[in-house]
Structure 1
């Protein structure tokens, strides 16, 4: 039988061309499928990265990976480095936690080696840990297990998928699984970090609420009961609050308490003393400043920005200049702040709590305070009564302050004598709670260990100095002498704290600074 005649050269070239076209089409389909797969993996990783709930994320990772690879089940085992165990947080269709030694089974091998591991028949694999199947009642046939590492290379645990729907897992499955495991590790690390931050934030919020709870404010008297009742009612409101009261009554404590018991408690509480800074510095502190406004000045956020979604406490608001008052009013009206030297306003969500020991209506009449700002701040008015108007609270305050000071100073005393306690309860306390605190701190410091605090330890019962009311000289000289003596005594009482001394004297810190300079008082 004769062989067929050879094909013409053009037929051979045509067949070769067709084969090449077919090969290129197949290669293009393969590349397109790979590109689609990679695009899908990218979309999955973005989806995972957006999820912050830890348990939901782990469930998403296992379910989506099983879907992509056609696996029946997935498990994530996290490493406890201190106990050296692996434990399962999520297993598909499994609620209970599984825990085993970090060196045991295929997962343990992956942790130790740091390499991906694929097994086509696990019951023939000496590394397989059959105890898990026995515990769960599940029958594993084949699996891929990959390490989960942090961005810095630390071992988080392992990720495994079990039982391919048809046949065994392939090298291509392994490649996809490694890519998904790497993205899963990043998402898990971020979720763990977020969970830790949230836990820390919640713990600190609880601690602050305990420290600044309303129960920490002594209020047995009817006046204080009414005040605290109103304060509780306005906690979760966003309205501005004006707190008034004499120096030393605890306006700052009430402001903090309102914030830490409000729905803004997880956001900043930013206090600023308006009397402690000159006008130009106060403006920069409140509104912030842009870089280059002056030589050597860097960009800085202001207190209003820092307090976004939280509370700004404006202490001594009555000492604020009219120019700064106008800018604060604009912020309250527009809810926008512009830094000094800036052009673009920034939106802020801030609750303002202001405090003063001045009569703002008298300040308005004198032209020193803006009426429109007063009404913006005075949406809710809380007035703290002076200590002399709530004598029921004094014994409670004495005991609470005494215990706190003794604990802080690690000093063991036997308490107050009856006469000392009576003297403390009947003293008028012009400096209010702050003066009472200073008096008890002084008495505890001077008292003999294991002894009683007696009337001789109380400064307001000490014999008056012979020259206190017998100054010689002209009236200005006598006034200067009295001022000098009162300032020095206030500084001694407050251990050199100028802000506290100023409050005790009923003047601003800036006013105290000027008087000290004029009277040549060091400190």
Structure 2
């Protein structure tokens, strides 16, 4: 998906920030759960920004062994180690453009220190070389775990977080932007109709009702994969209840369950705000302390 689909208030705010970020050389940190569209956002930033005619280089930090990541990022010179050759790193390849480091929280801490130095002075040194190379690279990094938790777990340097988060964008989960589901479905159906030479017209009202009640733990990626699977198996017409997986049908929630879930989330947020102080949380929620204690026990909070 090359276009960042959605028109909900949360996504419009993300787009607004992205357009500002796109024309700045300052770094960006993105936080989003798996499947929320982090790479799609990066491609959108590249497409609308002043570096659109320059390289966009993407590297998943978890996709390569940690001992190789440094040479991939910074490059090597011949003889630096066994079988090493003169080779540009991703910073040099991305010169003038954007380097996107996905799953930054998988990068070794010691390498994060070297990344920080490049962010500070824009200079890279290939492994085994004494000479330095000046680069003009906009760095975008993303994490799939909340940054504060990454820092607490010791998998993200605090100083690197502060340097990267000159701009910070949090991507909402699909369950928090359900008003975009209809638009996303239309986009994916059109995409796979063209790709698979099919003629699917849309989603039935009954299916859309289930989609809006489902929590989408796999986020946009789960929705995209589901649409792809259905379009593969169907030639034409509308996607009906017979076409969607049973686990989605079972997830449909009644009014009471949705109200309970909403109430539970409100209580959890109030307790988080007041560091678990029940009296203060009860005052905030405008309910008696005893009632709050009962509901905490009821929801197993």
Bin for the TM-score computed over the shorter chain: 0.7 to 0.9
Provide the C-alpha distance between the structure 2 equivalents of 1:327 and 1:295, rounded to a whole number of angstroms.
22
How many Å apart are 1:419 and its aligned residue? 1.8
Taking only aligned residues, the RMSD between alpha carbons, in angstroms, comes to: 1.8
| Closer, same or farther: CA 309–450 of 1 in aligned 2, 3 Å | closer
Contact 2:214 2:248 survives alignment (8 Å): no
Contact 1:290 1:298 survives alignment (8 Å): yes
2:176 to 373, 378, 389: 389
Q: CA deviation digits over 1:291-343, x for unaligned, max 9?
A: 12233332110001111111100111111110110110111122110111111
Contact 1:236 1:262 survives alignment (8 Å): yes
Contact 1:219 1:228 survives alignment (8 Å): no
In the superposition, the TM-score normalised over structure 1's length comes to 0.46
Aligned residue in 1 for 2:145: 358
2:169 partner SS = strand
1:415 partner SS = strand
1:235 to 16, 22, 39: 22
How many Å apart are 1:453 and its aligned residue? 2.3
Aligned residue in 2 for 1:286: 73
1:433 partner SS = helix
How many Å apart are 1:454 and its aligned residue? 2.0
Q: CA deviation digits over 1:478-513, x for unaligned, max 9?
A: xxxxxxxxxxxxxxxxxxxxxxxxxxxxxxxxxxxx
How many Å apart are 1:426 and its aligned residue? 2.3
Aligned residue in 2 for 1:250: 37
2:103 equivalent to 1:316: yes
2:141 partner SS = strand
Count how many residue pairs are aligned between Structure 1 and Structure 2.
250
How many Å apart are 1:460 and its aligned residue? 4.5
How many Å apart are 1:452 and its aligned residue? 3.5
Provide the C-alpha distance between the structure 2 equivalents of 1:254 and 1:423, rounded to a whole number of angstroms.
27
Aligned residue in 2 for 1:267: 54
Instruction: Give ranges in structure 1 of 5+ residues lacking alignment.
Output: 1-210, 465-523
1:231 partner SS = helix
Aligned residue in 2 for 1:437: 224
2:101 partner SS = strand
How many Å apart are 1:451 and its aligned residue? 4.1
Aligned residue in 2 for 1:456: 242
Matches within 5 A, 1:78-477: 212=2, 216-447=3-234, 449-461=235-247
2:113 partner SS = helix
1:312 partner SS = strand
Contact 1:414 1:451 survives alignment (8 Å): yes
2:91 partner SS = helix
Provide the C-alpha distance between the structure 2 equivalents of 1:460 and 1:277, rounded to a whole number of angstroms.
36
Q: CA deviation digits over 1:420-464, x for unaligned, max 9?
A: 2322232211111111000000111122x2343222221244799
Tell which structure's C-alpha radius of gyration is larger: 1
How many Å apart are 1:401 and its aligned residue? 0.6
Contact 2:27 2:139 survives alignment (8 Å): yes
How many Å apart are 1:256 and its aligned residue? 1.4
How many Å apart are 1:415 and its aligned residue? 3.2
Provide the C-alpha distance between the structure 2 equivalents of 1:272 and 1:302, rounded to a whole number of angstroms.
11
Q: CA deviation digits over 1:380-423, x for unaligned, max 9?
A: 11111111111110111011111111111001234333322322
Instruction: Give ranges in structure 2 of 5+ residues lacking alignment.
Output: 251-301
In the superposition, the TM-score normalised over structure 2's length comes to 0.79
Aligned residue in 2 for 1:136: none
2:175 partner SS = helix
1:413 partner SS = strand
Q: CA deviation digits over 1:119-142, x for unaligned, max 9?
A: xxxxxxxxxxxxxxxxxxxxxxxx
2:99 partner SS = strand
Q: Which structure ranks higher in relative contact order (CA pairs < 8 Å, sequence separation ≥ 6)?
A: 2
Provide the C-alpha distance between the structure 1 equivalents of 2:187 and 2:248, rounded to a whole number of angstroms.
24
How many Å apart are 1:230 and its aligned residue? 1.6
Provide the C-alpha distance between the structure 2 equivalents of 1:462 and 1:386, rounded to a whole number of angstroms.
17
